[in-house]
Amino acid sequence: MSTVRFGGMRFAFPPYAPMLRDAAFDGHRDMTTLLYTHPACLEHDPGQYHPESPLRLRAVLDALEGPDFARLKRREAPEAELEDLARVHPRGFVERLLAAVPQSGHAAIDADTVMSPESGRAALRAAGAVTAAVDAVAKGEADNAFCAVRPPGHHAEPGRAMGFCLFNNVAVGALRAREVHGLARVAVIDFDVHHGNGTQARFWDDPTLFYASTHQSPLYPGTGSRGETGVGNIVNVPLPPMSGSREFRLGVSREILPALDAFRPELVLISAGFDAHRNDPLAQLSLDESDYTWITEQLLRVARDHAGGRVVSTLEGGYDLPALGASAAAHVRVLLSV
Ligand SMILES: [Zn+2]
């Protein structure tokens, strides 16, 4: 069943009547979820035994095949422009990082963060996916979007690549939304099991940006205590190891959603990491697919109330391949169901 919006009402059509729908509502926008990705994101190779493997993205893309996802509109991610990256990262940092991409073999930035010859192109496509998705959603070409990309971004600080992350994809998207599309207040909600220290660092003293994170503590990178509040625009909900659905949902319901509603975002961005899943090898929380369905529903509700439904989500972590695929599918199923 597909639906369209018309005059504030929602009409449902059986899937065998696309001609009727197109004829009846020609000129009115359809309900759409975009999927941005690029083959270059499969070519970034941090090493044979590295958990941030190309197989992760393959698992996500495979999970987004099949009839449930036939309505996804698939788009190729462009490369991010330097001026977009430069709203988050100093230009000199961007140029030095791209110059450090090796011609062959690997180049390590730190013990966790390693580049291969295609890493620069992958990082540009990953950030470009989010900027293109922000453009499409801001212009009303789509209701929402999911960026199936790697490398991830939320650990990348303005002047430092770290934690498997090269450019901070979600922050680049947030700044483009504000600077290019004039959205007054932009929020990032980050349910990756690790704290998004890079996003927090960029948003820290800017009251037009909002960052909220649930994450395991203690865990890499060690930031994200409740006392880190920026200018009142940062909400951190650290969860002790072994926390599960109940603790996660309580933290989101009591601490993040009220602050997010009070912020009244004009765009909701999601740092969608799926490594808080119970099967994930890098952490000790015990969420499952139903929790990712739930948080996505909550964030769509916030977006409907304040942001005209505008949501752009981008992949961060998630290292158990079957859990990652199933969790990303649960997340995108909710995005499609708006
Ligand atoms: Zn993570």
pTM: predicted TM-score of the whole model, two decimal places: 0.91
Q: CA-to-CA distance for 119 and 76, rounded, in angstroms?
A: 17
Does the structure show a pLDDT above 70 at 3? no
Does the structure show a pLDDT above 60 at 28? no
Distance from the CA of 35 to the center of ligand 1, in angstroms?
Answer: 21
Question: What is the number of H-type helices and E-type strands within the chain?
Answer: 11, 12
- Categorize the per-residue pLDDT at 31 as very low, low, confident or very high, splitting at 50, 70 and 90: low
Distance from the CA of 24 to the center of ligand 1, in angstroms?
Answer: 45
Q: Which residue has the higher pLDDT, 24 or 119?
A: 119
Which tokens hold the place of 141? 């070409």
Distance from the CA of 275 to the center of ligand 1, in angstroms?
Answer: 6
Distance from the CA of 273 to the center of ligand 1, in angstroms?
Answer: 6
Omega before residue 67 within 30° of 0, cis: no
pLDDT of residue 21: 40
Q: CA-to-CA distance for 154 and 131, rounded, in angstroms?
A: 15
Half-sphere exposure of 262 (CA within 13 A, CB side): 13
Distance from the CA of 45 to the center of ligand 1, in angstroms?
Answer: 18
Q: CA-to-CA distance for 193 and 170, rounded, in angstroms?
A: 16
Q: Is residue 155 among the annotated active site residues?
A: yes
Residue range 228-250, pLDDT digits in tens: 999 999 999 999 999 999 999 99
Give the burial string for 191-216 (b: 16+ CB within 10 Å, else e). Answer: bbbbbbbbbbbbbeebeebbbbbbbb
Mean pLDDT of 169-185: 98
Residue range 147-169, pLDDT digits in tens: 999 999 999 999 999 999 999 99
**Which of these is catalytic: 155, 195, 277, 306?**
155
Q: CA-to-CA distance for 119 and 210, rounded, in angstroms?
A: 29
